[in-house]
Amino acid sequence: MSHRDGIATGLRRGAAAGGVALALILGMTAHGGLAIADDAKKAEAAAPEGRQSAWVKLCEKSPLVRREKEGDEVKEVKEEKDICLTHHERLDGNSGMVLVSAAIRQVEGSEHEHLMIMVPLGMAIPPGLKAAVYSKEQWEKAAKNEQVDDAELKPVDLKFSLCHASGCTAEVEATKEIIEQMKTGGGMMVLAMNAQAQPVGFPVPLDGFGDAFSGQPVDNEEYKKARGQLMAQIRQRQQEAYEKWKEEQIKLLPPQPGAEGVAGAAAEKKE
């Protein structure tokens, strides 16, 4: 499967699920406010006044341990470093499951940055992931299922490093070339192999990546609050769907024995 086929398939899947999936975004608008978009239509409606960003920058102090050799002894030195993630995630609006997330990780004092991508459980681990950044023109063409020359793409291989209940994360060093491509690109296509050895595409929009990466981090507490509101909306949607399902199931139940006679007697008495 080529990246062209992968992005077209992935974007068609996203469009089909747009009515039930939370489109993207816990991010920063052009006016600097934290925004939540329930779906693609709301995000597009907000675009004229403040274009929604698909990315958000989060930073926090984290304790790290490094080893230093003094003579014949190796000592552990504990210190705090700033760790920043310029981060994108897409959630399913019905389940709250993360469909795909991507981040650039920066560690204070480190010369190297890393691209990290998480996909749902069920993907084959040995092949890892492939990711390719599309220019804005290529991204628009691929979304329309128009021909994109695969030779113009520069896919990178990511190896899985961690799996947990939410999914599996693969990473690779984010070179300056990769980051510059992401700043100017239209989107990034991530390809994985599922357990049936079939390729699965995960499109990642790059709207707002450059501003988020170069800008100041958002307030972590505001972000947590906004994300909590987002998850509350999902839980409410789940509850409403469950109540509707219960009503439909009750309608399908056969009437209880004698129920018609009791109802008829009650009607006659009323008359």
Per-residue confidence (pLDDT) for residue 58, from 0 to 100: 93
**pTM for the whole thing?**
0.73
Per-residue confidence (pLDDT) for residue 48, from 0 to 100: 40
**130: three-class secondary structure by DSSP:** strand
Domain limits, the chain: 55-225
β-sheet bridge partners, residue 164: 167
Mean pLDDT by 10 residues, the chain (271 residues): 49 40 36 38 42 83 79 81 92 84 94 96 94 94 86 93 94 96 95 92 93 92 85 86 88 72 53 55
Topology annotation, domain 55-225: Immunoglobulin-like (2.60.40)
Per-residue confidence (pLDDT) for residue 179, from 0 to 100: 96
**71: three-class secondary structure by DSSP:** coil
Q: For residue 203, which of 256, 139, 254 has the smallest C-alpha distance?
A: 139
Q: For residue 5, which of 170, 158, 153 has the smallest C-alpha distance?
A: 153
Q: List, in order, residues 6 or more apart from 81 with CB less than 8 Å away.
A: 61, 62, 64, 107, 108, 109
Per-residue confidence (pLDDT) for residue 144, from 0 to 100: 86
Instruction: Determine contact, residues 118/169, Cβ cutoff 8 Å.
Output: yes
β-sheet bridge partners, residue 107: 83
